[in-house]
Amino acid sequence: MNFDNSHFDEDCERCSPLRRHAKVEAHISLDALRRNLRQIRSITPQARICCVVKADAYGHGAPMVCRALQQEGIKDFAVSGIAEAQEVRLALQSDMEQILILGYTLPDDLDLLFHYHITQTVFSLEYALALSARIQQMKEEGLLPMTAALPIHIKVDTGMNRLGFMTDDVDGITRVCKLPGLSASGIFTHFAMSDEPQSPMTQAQFDAFIRLTEQLQARGIHFACRHVCNSAAIANFPTMHLDMVRLGISLYGLKPSAQTAMPPLVPVMTVKTIISHIHTVPAGQSVSYGATFRAEHDMRVATVPIGYADGYVRAYARDGYMTVCGKRAKIVGRICMDQCMLDVTEIPQAVVGTSVIVFGQTDPTADTLAQWSDTINYEVTCIIGKRVPRYYDVPDTTCV
């Protein structure tokens, strides 16, 4: 791999020595991101799209991803907490977009919610009362104008049993919508099994959600934005799109499940490294910690500088391989914190400095790595470590 660091600015604090001398790189294709967004738009033309950019945009780098989506006309973003919301707002450099926090924010951080124009999820009466009380206190202390109101979305628990009002708690939600200092503009739920289109659970959750909203409407409570669909439900349950859908994993070019029929998507992240060392391991010698692998014959073994500290976890070693010169090079021995070893016996053209594909748009993919470790593709991209710099297909933006 040719590591061209000429774009780095020595005065840029983001261009740290760790990044300047990176041995592993995550290449992020914003062009693929845009194409994936357009594909999803083609199957949900009526609903707004809220792009889920929590966990640093699933490991892809939230600031650059958000700016690219903003250029595509996206007006709604979802994050996990206040720190992520701040980062997204600063990246957008605009107060016009809605940023929805899906999780919990401390009442003591209300000043940040107002300052950065953030919409907060409310999932219980107790939490709503705490927010309302703190807002009233801030008004009395002169920290907020008397007319200030925090925009909120009501979270309903229709079966996840994680966060949210129960579907029979009409009284509790009604009370929240009348509390001073809160402005309920949206209501939503989250599906537990929408990636399994044959499961009856999604329809049951949706029906419970609709019954609740109808009961609230009968009390004169209306919401401008109702949303229930994640990436899987966008594809599997098109009649449930309502006012807005939440686009997460499919935005990054990955399918939520093998059973979900998505339009053509392109993986956005490709992780690359290089061969740092090649040597011969004689027959009978072991490789790596625990001597779990022993060479049956003389082998040509390459060391690559990526390990579990970079998000390349030990579980990948069981079935794992990387692509070297267009061929599969199997992992031998245990994956170390910063390095692992590959069998390149049958790849004679592999030398020190040769580029190695860890995963990406071609073999192996994030889905492949997920299969090796009995997990999901979400986790594969999310855990790529911070010491792996993200490089973008945009001029002059690679030091991010």
Structure-token match 């069981």, residue found: 318
Respond yes or no on whether the N-terminal peptide bond of residue 197 is cis (omega within 30° of 0): no
Residue 397 burial class via C-beta count within 10 angstroms: exposed 0-12, middle 13-18, buried 19 and up: middle
- Annotated catalytic residue: which of 58, 139, 155, 289? 289
CB 102 within 8 A of CB 80: yes
- In this structure, the number of other CB atoms found within 10 A of the CB of residue 335 comes to 22
CA 386-32-70 angle, to 5 degrees, is 80
Cα distance between residue 78 and residue 60, in whole Å: 15
289 as an active site residue: the answer is yes
- Annotated catalytic residue: which of 23, 54, 155, 255? 54
CB 364 within 8 A of CB 322: yes
316 as an active site residue: the answer is no
Q: Would you call 134 helix, strand, or coil by DSSP?
A: helix
Q: Which of 375, 382, 310 is nearest to 84 (CA)?
A: 382
Count the alpha carbons within 13 Å of 305 in the hemisphere toward its beta carbon.
17
Q: Which of 170, 235, 231, 239 is nearest to 203 (CA)?
A: 239
Residues serving a catalytic function are 54, 289
